[in-house]
Amino acid sequence: MSISETCNRIFEATTLLYHKHDDVDARVENPYPERTIKNLLFTKNWIDAVQWHLEDIIRNPEIDPVEALAIKRRIDRSNQDRTDLVELIDSYFLDQYKEIIPLPNATINTESPAWAIDRLSILALKIYHMQQEVERNDASAEHIEKCRAKLAVLLQQREDLSTAIDQLIADIAAGRKYMKVYKQMKMYNDPALNPILYGKK
């Protein structure tokens, strides 16, 4: 099974599992062994699913401002968790191909495998929710048709992105591409780098 097939199967199953609970505070057990790529992929998509719904909740125009601030800070923490997971997934690939010697004309990709996989995880959520819109009984025929057209685009995006990810992994394995992991070095969460935080006494 290709890496994209593994990702898509886990992301789809995890998205369905989240919506079985449909609760941003739900706690579930990761079904995959620790320190495996499948474990990381499950965790990645679960974080994405929770954050997706936190983003929905915070857009409620009637939300209490205090609650909104708490959710915003939770989203900030979630973004950091997502970034950490991406770096762990990239570290997995670095370890997998550490013995590969890049060819003299090898090139680096514009994004690492894990950042492409990150987009695949988000696509799984977009596809799920767009499918829900297509199946609504209380929506107009025009709305449903628009969503059906959008769903077709999302499915094509998933197919194209899956192909690109598999090609990138094949190129890395063959030495045609090489990868680096750049830490994101987010500044706004770091008390030593955010002037609003370090300026306070």
User: Does any domain span residue 23?
Assistant: yes
Question: What string of pLDDT tens digits covers the 201 residues of the chain?
Answer: 999 999 999 999 999 999 999 999 999 999 999 999 999 999 999 999 999 999 999 999 999 999 999 999 999 999 999 999 999 999 999 999 999 999 999 999 999 999 999 999 999 999 999 999 999 999 999 999 999 999 999 999 999 999 999 999 999 999 999 998 777 666 666 777 677 667 764
User: Does any domain span residue 9?
Assistant: yes
SS3 132: helix
Identity of residue 182: Y
How many domains would you assign to the chain?
A: 1
Note down the domain range covering 156: 3-192
Identity of residue 158: R
